[in-house]
Amino acid sequence: MDWLLQQLINGLALGSIYALIALGYTMVYGVLRFINFAHADVLMLGAYAAYFLAPAVNSIFPLPSLTGTLIIVLLSAMICAAIGILIEILAYRPLRQRPRLTVLITAIGVSLFIEFTCQHKAVFGADTKPFPQLLPEHDFHLGGLVIGSNDLVVVVTTLLLLGGMWFIVQRTKMGTAMRAVSFNQQAAALMGININRIISFTFGLGSALAAVAGILYALKAPGIDPLMGVQPGLRAFIAAVLGGIGNLPGAALGGLLLGLLETFAGGISGLSNYRDGIAFAILILILLFKPAGLLGKATIEKV
Protein backbone atom coordinates (compact mmCIF):
# COMPACT_ATOMS: atom_id res chain seq x y z
CA MET A 1 0.00 0.00 0.00
CA ASP A 2 2.81 2.35 0.92
CA TRP A 3 4.42 1.44 -2.34
CA LEU A 4 1.35 2.46 -4.29
CA LEU A 5 0.92 5.77 -2.47
CA GLN A 6 4.60 6.58 -2.83
CA GLN A 7 4.39 6.00 -6.59
CA LEU A 8 1.32 8.24 -6.64
CA ILE A 9 3.33 11.01 -5.01
CA ASN A 10 6.28 10.45 -7.38
CA GLY A 11 3.94 10.47 -10.34
CA LEU A 12 2.18 13.65 -9.29
CA ALA A 13 5.47 15.45 -8.77
CA LEU A 14 6.78 14.37 -12.17
CA GLY A 15 3.43 15.03 -13.84
CA SER A 16 3.28 18.56 -12.44
CA ILE A 17 6.50 19.43 -14.23
CA TYR A 18 5.20 17.98 -17.49
CA ALA A 19 1.99 19.95 -16.93
CA LEU A 20 3.91 23.18 -16.45
CA ILE A 21 5.88 22.67 -19.66
CA ALA A 22 2.73 21.60 -21.50
CA LEU A 23 1.07 24.90 -20.51
CA GLY A 24 3.68 26.77 -22.55
CA TYR A 25 3.23 24.54 -25.59
CA THR A 26 -0.51 24.76 -25.50
CA MET A 27 -0.59 28.53 -25.07
CA VAL A 28 1.48 29.23 -28.16
CA TYR A 29 -0.56 26.66 -30.05
CA GLY A 30 -3.79 28.24 -28.90
CA VAL A 31 -2.83 31.57 -30.45
CA LEU A 32 -0.69 30.65 -33.44
CA ARG A 33 -1.79 27.07 -34.26
CA PHE A 34 1.71 25.71 -34.39
CA ILE A 35 3.97 23.81 -32.03
CA ASN A 36 6.93 25.80 -30.79
CA PHE A 37 9.49 23.01 -30.55
CA ALA A 38 12.08 25.44 -29.23
CA HIS A 39 10.03 25.61 -26.02
CA ALA A 40 12.01 22.71 -24.51
CA ASP A 41 15.25 24.54 -25.21
CA VAL A 42 14.02 27.75 -23.65
CA LEU A 43 13.40 25.57 -20.60
CA MET A 44 17.06 24.56 -20.67
CA LEU A 45 18.12 28.19 -21.07
CA GLY A 46 16.00 29.04 -18.03
CA ALA A 47 17.85 26.47 -15.95
CA TYR A 48 21.21 27.82 -17.16
CA ALA A 49 20.12 31.39 -16.47
CA ALA A 50 19.41 30.35 -12.87
CA TYR A 51 22.73 28.49 -12.75
CA PHE A 52 24.66 31.62 -13.69
CA LEU A 53 22.51 33.99 -11.62
CA ALA A 54 22.72 31.93 -8.45
CA PRO A 55 26.27 32.98 -7.39
CA ALA A 56 25.41 36.67 -7.91
CA VAL A 57 22.16 36.47 -6.00
CA ASN A 58 23.86 34.37 -3.34
CA SER A 59 26.12 37.29 -2.42
CA ILE A 60 23.08 39.46 -1.63
CA PHE A 61 20.53 36.93 -0.41
CA PRO A 62 22.42 33.86 0.84
CA LEU A 63 21.03 30.66 -0.69
CA PRO A 64 19.22 28.41 0.03
CA SER A 65 16.45 30.85 0.77
CA LEU A 66 12.98 31.64 -0.51
CA THR A 67 13.71 35.30 -1.30
CA GLY A 68 16.83 34.45 -3.25
CA THR A 69 15.00 31.75 -5.19
CA LEU A 70 12.14 34.08 -6.06
CA ILE A 71 14.56 36.68 -7.38
CA ILE A 72 16.41 34.07 -9.44
CA VAL A 73 13.17 32.67 -10.83
CA LEU A 74 11.89 36.15 -11.72
CA LEU A 75 15.12 37.19 -13.42
CA SER A 76 15.40 33.89 -15.31
CA ALA A 77 11.77 34.17 -16.41
CA MET A 78 12.46 37.68 -17.70
CA ILE A 79 15.56 36.57 -19.58
CA CYS A 80 13.69 33.66 -21.12
CA ALA A 81 10.71 35.83 -22.00
CA ALA A 82 13.09 38.10 -23.90
CA ILE A 83 14.66 35.10 -25.63
CA GLY A 84 11.22 33.75 -26.54
CA ILE A 85 10.14 37.08 -28.02
CA LEU A 86 13.42 37.31 -29.92
CA ILE A 87 12.99 33.81 -31.36
CA GLU A 88 9.51 34.71 -32.54
CA ILE A 89 10.63 37.95 -34.17
CA LEU A 90 13.69 36.44 -35.85
CA ALA A 91 12.47 32.99 -36.84
CA TYR A 92 8.68 32.82 -36.92
CA ARG A 93 7.43 36.31 -37.79
CA PRO A 94 8.95 36.39 -41.30
CA LEU A 95 7.16 33.12 -42.01
CA ARG A 96 3.76 34.01 -40.64
CA GLN A 97 2.03 34.07 -44.04
CA ARG A 98 3.70 30.83 -45.17
CA PRO A 99 2.17 27.35 -44.84
CA ARG A 100 2.11 26.12 -41.26
CA LEU A 101 4.48 23.26 -42.08
CA THR A 102 7.24 25.75 -42.92
CA VAL A 103 6.98 27.31 -39.48
CA LEU A 104 6.92 23.88 -37.84
CA ILE A 105 10.14 22.82 -39.58
CA THR A 106 11.69 26.17 -38.65
CA ALA A 107 10.75 25.53 -35.02
CA ILE A 108 12.64 22.23 -35.12
CA GLY A 109 15.54 24.06 -36.71
CA VAL A 110 15.56 26.70 -33.96
CA SER A 111 15.45 23.94 -31.36
CA LEU A 112 18.46 22.13 -32.84
CA PHE A 113 20.29 25.42 -33.28
CA ILE A 114 19.95 26.28 -29.59
CA GLU A 115 20.83 22.78 -28.41
CA PHE A 116 23.99 22.45 -30.42
CA THR A 117 25.17 26.02 -30.03
CA CYS A 118 24.91 25.61 -26.28
CA GLN A 119 26.87 22.37 -26.41
CA HIS A 120 29.88 24.17 -27.83
CA LYS A 121 32.55 24.58 -25.21
CA ALA A 122 32.65 28.35 -25.71
CA VAL A 123 28.97 28.54 -24.68
CA PHE A 124 27.94 26.07 -21.95
CA GLY A 125 29.83 22.93 -23.00
CA ALA A 126 28.32 19.48 -23.32
CA ASP A 127 29.15 18.28 -19.83
CA THR A 128 26.67 18.16 -16.98
CA LYS A 129 26.88 21.05 -14.54
CA PRO A 130 25.93 20.73 -10.87
CA PHE A 131 22.86 22.88 -10.20
CA PRO A 132 23.04 24.79 -6.91
CA GLN A 133 20.61 24.16 -4.10
CA LEU A 134 18.25 27.13 -4.18
CA LEU A 135 15.59 26.16 -1.63
CA PRO A 136 16.03 24.72 1.82
CA GLU A 137 15.09 21.05 1.48
CA HIS A 138 13.13 19.01 3.91
CA ASP A 139 11.62 15.56 3.54
CA PHE A 140 8.26 14.95 5.19
CA HIS A 141 7.73 11.42 6.45
CA LEU A 142 4.19 10.14 6.81
CA GLY A 143 4.47 6.55 7.97
CA GLY A 144 6.49 4.88 5.25
CA LEU A 145 5.83 7.69 2.80
CA VAL A 146 8.32 10.37 1.87
CA ILE A 147 7.30 13.70 0.39
CA GLY A 148 10.14 16.00 -0.58
CA SER A 149 9.67 19.74 -0.08
CA ASN A 150 10.76 20.26 -3.70
CA ASP A 151 7.94 18.04 -4.91
CA LEU A 152 5.45 20.11 -2.94
CA VAL A 153 6.91 23.30 -4.39
CA VAL A 154 6.52 21.88 -7.90
CA VAL A 155 2.89 20.92 -7.40
CA VAL A 156 1.94 24.22 -5.75
CA THR A 157 3.78 26.31 -8.36
CA THR A 158 2.07 24.46 -11.18
CA LEU A 159 -1.37 24.99 -9.63
CA LEU A 160 -0.68 28.69 -9.04
CA LEU A 161 0.63 29.25 -12.55
CA LEU A 162 -2.26 27.33 -14.07
CA GLY A 163 -4.68 29.58 -12.16
CA GLY A 164 -2.68 32.63 -13.19
CA MET A 165 -2.70 31.66 -16.85
CA TRP A 166 -6.41 30.98 -16.77
CA PHE A 167 -6.97 34.40 -15.22
CA ILE A 168 -4.83 36.17 -17.82
CA VAL A 169 -6.49 34.45 -20.75
CA GLN A 170 -10.07 34.66 -19.52
CA ARG A 171 -10.24 37.78 -17.38
CA THR A 172 -7.85 40.41 -18.75
CA LYS A 173 -7.95 42.67 -21.77
CA MET A 174 -4.74 41.10 -23.06
CA GLY A 175 -6.31 37.65 -22.71
CA THR A 176 -9.39 38.72 -24.61
CA ALA A 177 -7.16 39.99 -27.38
CA MET A 178 -5.26 36.69 -27.35
CA ARG A 179 -8.46 34.76 -27.75
CA ALA A 180 -9.55 37.08 -30.52
CA VAL A 181 -6.26 36.55 -32.40
CA SER A 182 -6.62 32.82 -31.88
CA PHE A 183 -10.15 32.91 -33.27
CA ASN A 184 -9.43 34.92 -36.39
CA GLN A 185 -6.25 36.92 -36.93
CA GLN A 186 -7.55 39.06 -39.75
CA ALA A 187 -10.79 39.96 -38.03
CA ALA A 188 -8.89 40.74 -34.84
CA ALA A 189 -6.56 43.05 -36.77
CA LEU A 190 -9.57 44.82 -38.26
CA MET A 191 -10.88 45.39 -34.75
CA GLY A 192 -7.72 47.31 -33.96
CA ILE A 193 -5.77 44.62 -32.16
CA ASN A 194 -2.01 44.82 -32.65
CA ILE A 195 -1.37 41.24 -33.74
CA ASN A 196 2.42 41.43 -33.41
CA ARG A 197 2.18 42.70 -29.88
CA ILE A 198 -0.22 39.95 -28.83
CA ILE A 199 1.91 37.23 -30.37
CA SER A 200 5.07 38.61 -28.76
CA PHE A 201 3.27 38.70 -25.43
CA THR A 202 2.15 35.09 -25.85
CA PHE A 203 5.70 33.96 -26.62
CA GLY A 204 7.06 35.95 -23.71
CA LEU A 205 4.56 34.41 -21.32
CA GLY A 206 5.11 30.89 -22.63
CA SER A 207 8.89 31.24 -22.39
CA ALA A 208 8.65 32.61 -18.85
CA LEU A 209 6.66 29.49 -17.94
CA ALA A 210 9.39 27.39 -19.56
CA ALA A 211 12.01 29.12 -17.42
CA VAL A 212 10.09 28.33 -14.23
CA ALA A 213 9.63 24.73 -15.35
CA GLY A 214 13.34 24.49 -16.17
CA ILE A 215 14.36 25.69 -12.73
CA LEU A 216 11.92 23.34 -10.99
CA TYR A 217 13.18 20.47 -13.12
CA ALA A 218 16.76 21.34 -12.22
CA LEU A 219 15.86 21.48 -8.52
CA LYS A 220 14.46 17.98 -8.81
CA ALA A 221 17.48 16.57 -10.63
CA PRO A 222 20.37 18.97 -9.93
CA GLY A 223 22.50 18.19 -12.97
CA ILE A 224 21.90 20.39 -16.02
CA ASP A 225 23.16 19.99 -19.58
CA PRO A 226 22.22 21.56 -22.92
CA LEU A 227 20.06 18.58 -23.88
CA MET A 228 18.14 18.45 -20.61
CA GLY A 229 15.00 19.91 -22.22
CA VAL A 230 14.61 17.31 -24.95
CA GLN A 231 13.05 14.45 -22.98
CA PRO A 232 10.64 16.43 -20.76
CA GLY A 233 9.82 18.66 -23.72
CA LEU A 234 8.79 15.72 -25.84
CA ARG A 235 6.64 14.35 -23.06
CA ALA A 236 5.05 17.70 -22.33
CA PHE A 237 4.19 18.03 -26.01
CA ILE A 238 2.46 14.65 -25.87
CA ALA A 239 0.75 15.73 -22.64
CA ALA A 240 -0.55 18.87 -24.36
CA VAL A 241 -1.93 16.79 -27.23
CA LEU A 242 -3.42 14.30 -24.81
CA GLY A 243 -5.23 16.99 -22.87
CA GLY A 244 -6.49 18.65 -26.02
CA ILE A 245 -3.97 21.05 -27.50
CA GLY A 246 -4.82 24.69 -27.04
CA ASN A 247 -6.68 23.95 -23.82
CA LEU A 248 -4.97 25.09 -20.60
CA PRO A 249 -6.61 22.75 -18.03
CA GLY A 250 -6.26 19.97 -20.62
CA ALA A 251 -2.49 20.46 -20.72
CA ALA A 252 -2.29 20.23 -16.95
CA LEU A 253 -4.45 17.11 -16.90
CA GLY A 254 -2.45 15.51 -19.70
CA GLY A 255 0.81 16.24 -17.90
CA LEU A 256 -0.38 14.71 -14.63
CA LEU A 257 -1.72 11.64 -16.39
CA LEU A 258 1.50 11.08 -18.31
CA GLY A 259 3.59 11.51 -15.16
CA LEU A 260 1.49 8.98 -13.29
CA LEU A 261 1.51 6.46 -16.14
CA GLU A 262 5.26 6.71 -16.52
CA THR A 263 5.87 6.34 -12.82
CA PHE A 264 3.66 3.30 -12.40
CA ALA A 265 5.06 1.61 -15.51
CA GLY A 266 8.61 2.44 -14.46
CA GLY A 267 8.14 1.00 -11.00
CA ILE A 268 7.41 -2.53 -12.16
CA SER A 269 10.43 -4.79 -11.81
CA GLY A 270 11.38 -6.26 -15.18
CA LEU A 271 9.11 -3.90 -17.11
CA SER A 272 10.89 -0.66 -16.28
CA ASN A 273 12.79 -0.96 -19.55
CA TYR A 274 9.47 -0.51 -21.36
CA ARG A 275 8.36 2.42 -19.23
CA ASP A 276 7.90 4.87 -22.07
CA GLY A 277 6.50 2.18 -24.34
CA ILE A 278 3.75 1.33 -21.88
CA ALA A 279 2.93 4.96 -21.13
CA PHE A 280 2.75 5.90 -24.78
CA ALA A 281 0.74 2.82 -25.77
CA ILE A 282 -1.93 3.89 -23.28
CA LEU A 283 -1.83 7.41 -24.68
CA ILE A 284 -2.35 6.13 -28.21
CA LEU A 285 -5.36 4.16 -26.97
CA ILE A 286 -6.86 7.27 -25.40
CA LEU A 287 -6.31 9.31 -28.53
CA LEU A 288 -7.90 6.58 -30.65
CA PHE A 289 -11.12 7.07 -28.76
CA LYS A 290 -10.83 10.80 -28.14
CA PRO A 291 -8.86 12.20 -31.09
CA ALA A 292 -9.21 15.81 -29.96
CA GLY A 293 -7.69 14.97 -26.57
CA LEU A 294 -9.32 14.62 -23.20
CA LEU A 295 -10.64 18.18 -22.90
CA GLY A 296 -10.30 19.30 -26.50
CA LYS A 297 -13.30 20.12 -28.64
CA ALA A 298 -13.48 18.48 -32.01
CA THR A 299 -13.74 21.15 -34.69
CA ILE A 300 -15.46 20.43 -37.93
CA GLU A 301 -13.78 21.97 -40.89
CA LYS A 302 -15.75 22.60 -44.02
CA VAL A 303 -13.87 21.70 -47.12
Binding mask 203-242 toward another protein (x if CB under 8 A, else -) reads --------------x--xxxx-x-xx--xx----------
> Taking a C-beta distance cutoff of 8 angstroms, is the pair 11, 264 a contact?
yes
- With binding defined as CB under 8 A, does residue 14 bind another protein? yes
CA nearest neighbour of 124 among 134, 132, 114: 114
CA nearest neighbour of 233 among 128, 152, 112: 112
> Taking a C-beta distance cutoff of 8 angstroms, is the pair 179, 165 a contact?
no
> What is residue 224's three-state secondary structure?
strand
CA distance 203 to 224: 24
- In whole angstroms, the minimum distance from the beta carbon of 118 to another protein comes to 15
Query: In terms of CB distance, is 94 or 125 closer to another protein?
Result: 125
Q: Which region among 36-44, 58-66, 67-75, 122-130 touches another protein (by CB under 8 A)? A: 122-130
Q: What residues contact residue 129 under an 8 Å CB cut-off, 6+ apart?
A: 51, 223, 224, 225
- In whole angstroms, the minimum distance from the beta carbon of 130 to another protein comes to 4
> Taking a C-beta distance cutoff of 8 angstroms, is the pair 128, 243 a contact?
no
Q: Which region among 25-33, 55-63, 173-181, 265-273 touches another protein (by CB under 8 A)? A: 265-273
**H/E segment holding residue 141:** strand 139-142
Query: In terms of CB distance, is 175 or 222 closer to another protein?
Result: 222
Q: Which residues of 96-127 are buried (b: 16+ CB within 10 A; e: fewer)?
A: eeeeeeebeebbeebbeebbeebeeeeebeee
Query: In terms of CB distance, is 88 or 262 closer to another protein?
Result: 262
Query: In terms of CB distance, is 46 or 296 closer to another protein?
Result: 46
- In whole angstroms, the minimum distance from the beta carbon of 228 to another protein comes to 7
> Taking a C-beta distance cutoff of 8 angstroms, is the pair 221, 13 a contact?
no
Query: In terms of CB distance, is 185 or 263 closer to another protein?
Result: 263
Among 265, 278, 283, 295, binds another protein (CB under 8 A): 265
CA distance 45 to 43: 5
Give the footprint of another protein on residues 132-171 (CB under 8 A): 139, 141, 146, 148
- In whole angstroms, the minimum distance from the beta carbon of 197 to another protein comes to 36
- In whole angstroms, the minimum distance from the beta carbon of 285 to another protein comes to 21
Q: Which region among 91-99, 103-111, 266-274, 295-303 touches another protein (by CB under 8 A)? A: 266-274
> How many residues touch another protein (CB under 8 A)?
41
CA nearest neighbour of 68 among 49, 47, 42, 50: 50
Among 62, 67, 94, 127, binds another protein (CB under 8 A): 127
Chain positions contacting another protein, by CB under 8 A? 2-3, 6-7, 10-11, 13-14, 121-122, 126-128, 130-131, 139, 141, 146, 148, 217, 220-223, 225, 227-228, 231-232, 262-270, 272-273, 275
